[in-house]
């Protein structure tokens, strides 16, 4: 019989079944050793951790390494922490969907996610769904992610057999709105300047 107030008993129990953290005393749900053992066995056991440990990046990332759903139980502060979300994305690119709205509008975070899991474009901010570079990164990972681009960008891409080429062309036009020739942007030489 497990004594749910005894650290050794609870450590043994959660090492076999992380879900057993639910039965642990409140004090042991706040014990980092116990919670780490639990989340390393079942990531979503983070749900039963103390609020302080759901705000601990080490604990949350250990849980996310096992189960993406664990990020849903992280504190709001960690869901809004760019570095934590970027590290979570390294384990599971879809951790992006649990990030705060603000971070789903952060280009660096979105690029990290869509570059390795294009379908996460669906959860990016509307502005970034209209960003050609972001959409191209998503498309290169998963061609079907193009359908998560903004309606405006989809109209610009049009009905083409090569959306990647079209996106590259649109990006080039954005960089050189008055033509893409290098000659138009050259500085005149001394001889050319003297003759004018």
- Tens-digit pLDDT profile for residues 126-155: 999 999 999 999 999 999 999 999 999 999
- pLDDT at position 147: 94
How many folded domains does the chain comprise?
2
User: Which tokens in the block code for residue 152?
Assistant: 């405006």
Distance (Å, whole) CA 98 – CA 69: 9
171: in domain: yes
Q: Domain check: are 6 and 76 in the same one?
A: yes
- pLDDT at position 59: 98
Print the domain residue range for 137.
101-179
189: in domain: no
- Which of 20, 50, 80 terminates a domain? The answer is 80
Neighbours of 153 (CB within 10 A): 17
Note the Cα 175 to chain centre separation in Å.
27
Q: Domain check: are 2 and 74 in the same one?
A: yes
pTM of the model: 0.76
- pLDDT at position 179: 54
- pLDDT at position 74: 94
Q: Domain check: are 107 and 73 in the same one?
A: no
135: in domain: yes
115: in domain: yes
Angle between helices 107-116 and 132-141 (to 10 degrees): 20
**Which letter, b or e, does each residue of 80-107 get, where b requires 16 or more Cβ atoms within 10 Å of its Cβ?**
ebeebbbbbbebbbbbbbbbbeebbebe
Q: Collect the ranges in the chain with pLDDT lower than 50.
A: 180-196
Residue 137: φ, ψ to 5°: -60, -40
Q: Domain check: are 121 and 68 in the same one?
A: no
85: in domain: no
Count how many residues are written for the chain: 196
Q: Domain check: are 4 and 66 in the same one?
A: yes
User: Which tokens in the block code for residue 39?
Assistant: 């989340």
Among 120, 118, 176, 129, CA closest to 156: 129
In Å, what is the CA distance from 59 to each residue of 62, 73, 178? 5, 11, 52
96: in domain: no
E runs forming strands in the chain: none
Q: Domain check: are 8 and 46 in the same one?
A: yes
Q: Domain check: are 52 and 105 in the same one?
A: no
191: in domain: no
């Amino acid at each position: 019989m497990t004594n749910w107030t005894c650290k050794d008993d609870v450590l043994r129990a959660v090492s076999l079944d992380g879900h057993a953290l639910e039965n642990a005393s409140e004090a042991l749900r706040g014990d980092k050793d116990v919670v780490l053992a639990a989340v390393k066995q079942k990531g979503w056991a983070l749900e039963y951790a103390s609020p302080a440990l759901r705000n601990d990046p080490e604990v949350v990332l250990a849980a996310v390494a096992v189960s993406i759903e664990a990020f849903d139980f992280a504190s709001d502060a960690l869901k809004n922490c760019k570095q934590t979300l970027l590290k979570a994305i390294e384990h599971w690119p879809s951790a992006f969907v649990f990030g705060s709205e603000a971070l789903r509008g952060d280009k660096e975070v979105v690029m990290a996610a869509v570059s390795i899991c294009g379908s996460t474009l669906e959860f990016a901010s509307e502005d970034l769904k209209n960003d050609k570079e972001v959409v191209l990164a998503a498309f290169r990972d998963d061609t079907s992610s193009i359908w998560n681009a903004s309606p405006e960008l989809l109209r610009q891409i049009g009905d083409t057999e090569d959306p990647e080429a079209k996106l590259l062309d649109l990006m080039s036009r954005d960089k050189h709105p008055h033509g893409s020739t290098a000659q138009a942007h050259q500085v005149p030489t001394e001889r050319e300047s003297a003759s004018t």
